[in-house]
């Protein structure tokens, strides 16, 4: 008798092969039979009319703190994610010297918009070294698997202390390389760094932002000596000739993959094609350069309780919302009271007569790109037509854009959100994203699960690959079901050497999603206050996941947690096969 049998499901096995109706048997943590299962199961699930896919492997998240206190790892676990990789973008919480914890919290809060109060209350800091951090993660039961990467900023802070933002000496670099090698030996999945001016904290740019190639090549040598590990980075110059030479050398020295965030950008809207061509050339030469792309534009969500919206710096709004801290239950009036005040004609007129009270040019631009701000709606629309933007609607109605934006923010009793895509929406559609998703040298990522709590909510990207790209898209070509599944299972797992998962086949880990594709539906994101210390975060619910299975155990059924917590720490190693 098998432990679990799923019968007559449409099996999309993660390889990219065509779907096939059949049964799947599970014994212990592994799939044992795929096709026709004669024996019974202690537990049986009816898969008739349902899709059975491997569990999603999300390689770009920021659950580094949340993983130490939240066994359910929401919202990613709601969306069928069974493995997450965290520690991205060069920020994280290990290694850390005693007394320096607040610096790492401030970096994470500044870069990833995770409330510092929540991190300070939620993390118990049972570690100093990265190996000890991995042990702490391993000791925490949860619903899904986690893998952790070594963050450059934390390593710099550990080695250089107050000089973390300065140029590193040869001894500093050697010490950082040694720490990285030790972390990889303990099971770290890779090393990450940030090289973008967008990543800042109150201390300035993230440590390592301007690190010279020599420093990063030394880290690459450490990865090479360890025999495994991905090098992940986000960079303003990624894919350009400025960085391409040393990045190719870095990949050669590591012997593994270098992955970086790639998107279509306004100043050079076809540059991504050059990056794709270079990645393909590297791939043919046996060099692992893997552009990491998203399944929808990374989009800011402007709401009355968000970290940013068009009126957040206006004096009248600040007064009404009780700035600072407008988004916490104790930091201002209730949402209903705020909506009522903003609906007062005199208050509205005063607000609309004001200008943003900030000298931050980036914020000013983002808040007023009226041709790139849209209603999100419910169900949410992440591929809106340009003629539905604030600017277009205002022009048709003969009104100011500010008036339209304010009206939209007040919809749904003030719960409405405006969608402001940051990149990969230059042409007002998803065609550039489709081109990147379909390229054989890319990997899908950038969901940022666990991060950007007050402004972005993209942890639902795995679900979006099915709802939008496979089923609903009407402004361009859709993706084949088998490709959409492959992109976030075998493809993502393979980049990190997680060869025990991502495919439904005998001997593979029994991480599975049983999905009602016809009923799969994303809800509009909502702001909740359930982080430690009452911290806020945007979350997005979903209907249609009938069951999620991790290591052979059903962890979610019809969207509800079962109480099973079979998730473990994924420790990477030179063998290329993760261990617990």
Q: Are 74 and 80 in contact (CB under 8 A)?
A: no
Whether 194 is covered by a domain: the verdict is: yes
- Asked which of 394, 421, 448 is the last residue of a domain, the reply is 421
Residues 162 and 270 grouped into a single domain: yes
Is a pLDDT exceeding 60 seen at residue 325? no
Residues 333 and 353 grouped into a single domain: yes
Terminal CA-CA length for the chain: 26
- Asked which of 421, 452, 487 is the last residue of a domain, the reply is 421
Residues 307 and 411 grouped into a single domain: yes
Structural domain tally of the chain?
Answer: 3
Whether 399 is covered by a domain: the verdict is: yes
Residues 320 and 247 grouped into a single domain: no
Q: Give the SS3 label for residue 98.
A: coil
Residues 90 and 184 grouped into a single domain: yes
Residues 266 and 383 grouped into a single domain: no
Q: If you average pLDDT over residues 291-313, what whole number do you get?
A: 97
Whether 569 is covered by a domain: the verdict is: no
Contacts of 398 (CB under 8 A, 6+ apart): none
At 238, the pLDDT band (50, 70, 90 cuts) reads confident
Residues 92 and 159 grouped into a single domain: yes
Q: Which residues of 154-192 are buried (b: 16+ CB within 10 A; e: fewer)?
A: bbbbbbbeeebbeebeeebbebbbebbbbbbbbbbbbbb
Residue 333 structural domain: 300-421
pLDDT at 577: 52
Is a pLDDT exceeding 90 seen at residue 446? yes
Whether 495 is covered by a domain: the verdict is: yes
Residues 376 and 429 grouped into a single domain: no
Average model confidence (pLDDT) across the chain:
95
The pLDDT tens digits for 21-32 are: 999 999 999 999
Q: Are 41 and 5 in contact (CB under 8 A)?
A: yes
Residues 25 and 117 grouped into a single domain: no
The pLDDT tens digits for 366-381 are: 999 999 999 999 999 9
Residues 265 and 239 grouped into a single domain: yes
CB atoms within 10 A of CB 339: 18
Instruction: Please report, for residues 25, 106, 480, the alpha-carbon distance to residue 44 in angstroms, rounded to integers and kept in the order given.
Output: 9, 48, 29
The pLDDT tens digits for 74-104 are: 999 999 999 999 999 999 999 999 999 999 9
Peptide bond into 75 cis (omega under 30): yes
pLDDT at 92: 98
Whether 98 is covered by a domain: the verdict is: yes
* CATH number for the domain that contains residue 237: 3.20.20.140
- Asked which of 437, 460, 483 is the last residue of a domain, the reply is 460
Residues 172 and 67 grouped into a single domain: yes
Provide the CA 159 distance to its chain's centre, in angstroms: 28
The pLDDT tens digits for 30-59 are: 999 999 999 999 999 999 999 999 999 999
What is the model's pTM?
Answer: 0.96
Whether 574 is covered by a domain: the verdict is: no
* CATH number for the domain that contains residue 1: 2.30.40.10
Whether 440 is covered by a domain: the verdict is: yes
Instruction: Please report, for residues 267, 422, 511, the alpha-carbon distance to residue 453 in angstroms, rounded to integers and kept in the order given.
Output: 28, 16, 27
Q: Which residues of 511-530 are buried (b: 16+ CB within 10 A; e: fewer)?
A: bbbbbebeebebebbbbebe
CB atoms within 10 A of CB 71: 16
Residues 129 and 194 grouped into a single domain: yes
Whether 576 is covered by a domain: the verdict is: no
């Amino acid at each position: 008798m098998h432990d679990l049998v799923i019968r007559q499901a449409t099996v999309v096995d993660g390889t990219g092969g065509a779907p096939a109706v059949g049964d799947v048997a599970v014994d212990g943590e592994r799939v044992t039979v795929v096709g026709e299962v004669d024996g019974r199961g202690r537990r049986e699930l009816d898969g008739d009319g349902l899709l059975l896919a491997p569990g999603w492997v999300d390689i770009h998240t920021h659950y580094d703190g949340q993983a130490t206190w939240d066994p359910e790892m929401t919202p990613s676990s709601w969306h069928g994610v069974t493995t997450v990789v965290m520690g991205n973008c060069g920020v994280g919480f290990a290694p850390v010297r005693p007394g320096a914890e607040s610096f790492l919290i401030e970096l994470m809060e500044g870069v990833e918009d995770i409330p510092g109060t929540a991190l300070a209350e939620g993390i118990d800091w049972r570690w100093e070294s990265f190996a000890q951090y991995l042990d702490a993660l391993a000791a925490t039961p949860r619903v899904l698997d986690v893998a952790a990467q070594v963050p450059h900023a934390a390593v710099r802070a550990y080695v250089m202390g107050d000089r973390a933002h300065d140029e590193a000496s040869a001894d500093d670099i050697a010490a950082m390389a040694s720490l990285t090698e030790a972390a990889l030996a303990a099971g770290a999945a890779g090393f990450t760094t940030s090289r973008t001016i967008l990543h800042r904290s109150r201390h300035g740019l993230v440590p390592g932002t301007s690190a010279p190639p020599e420093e990063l090549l030394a880290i690459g040598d450490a990865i090479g000596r360890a025999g495994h590990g991905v090098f992940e980075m986000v960079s303003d110059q990624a894919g350009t000739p400025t960085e391409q030479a040393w990045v190719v050398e870095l990949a050669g020295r590591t012997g593994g993959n270098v992955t970086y965030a790639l998107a279509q950008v306004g100043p050079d809207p076809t540059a991504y094609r050059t990056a794709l061509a270079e990645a393909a050339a590297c791939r043919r030469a046996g060099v692992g350069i893997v552009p990491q792309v998203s399944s929808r534009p990374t989009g800011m969500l402007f709401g009355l309780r968000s970290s940013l919206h068009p009126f957040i710096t206006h004096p009248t709004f600040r007064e009404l919302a009780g700035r600072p801290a407008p988004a916490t239950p104790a930091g201002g009036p209730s949402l209903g009271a705020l909506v009522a005040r903003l609906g007062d004609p005199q208050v509205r007129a005063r607000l609309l007569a004001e200008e943003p009270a900030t000298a931050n040019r980036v914020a000013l631009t983002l808040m007023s790109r009226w041709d790139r701000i849209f209603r999100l709606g419910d169900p949410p629309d992440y591929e809106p037509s340009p003629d539905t933007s604030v600017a277009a609607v205002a022009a048709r109605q003969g009104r100011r854009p500010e008036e339209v934006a304010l009206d939209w923010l007040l919809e749904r009793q003030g719960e409405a959100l405006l969608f402001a895509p940051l990149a990969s929406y230059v042409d007002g559609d998803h065609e550039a994203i489709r081109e990147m998703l379909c390229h054989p040298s890319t990997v899908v990522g950038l969901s940022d699960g666990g991060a950007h709590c007050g402004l972005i909510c993209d942890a639902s990207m795995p679900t979006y690959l099915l709802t939008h790209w496979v089923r609903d898209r009407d402004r361009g070509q859709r993706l084949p079901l088998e490709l959409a599944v492959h992109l976030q299972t075998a493809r993502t797992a393979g980049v990190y050497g997680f060869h025990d998962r991502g495919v439904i086949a005998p001997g593979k880990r029994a991480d599975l999603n049983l999905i009602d594709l016809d009923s799969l539906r994303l809800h509009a994101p909502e702001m909740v206050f359930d982080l430690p210390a009452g911290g806020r975060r945007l979350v997005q619910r979903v209907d249609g996941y009938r069951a999620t299975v991790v290591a052979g155990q059903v962890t979610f059924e019809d969207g509800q947690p079962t109480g099973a917590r079979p998730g473990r720490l994924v420790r990477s190693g030179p063998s290329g096969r993760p261990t617990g």
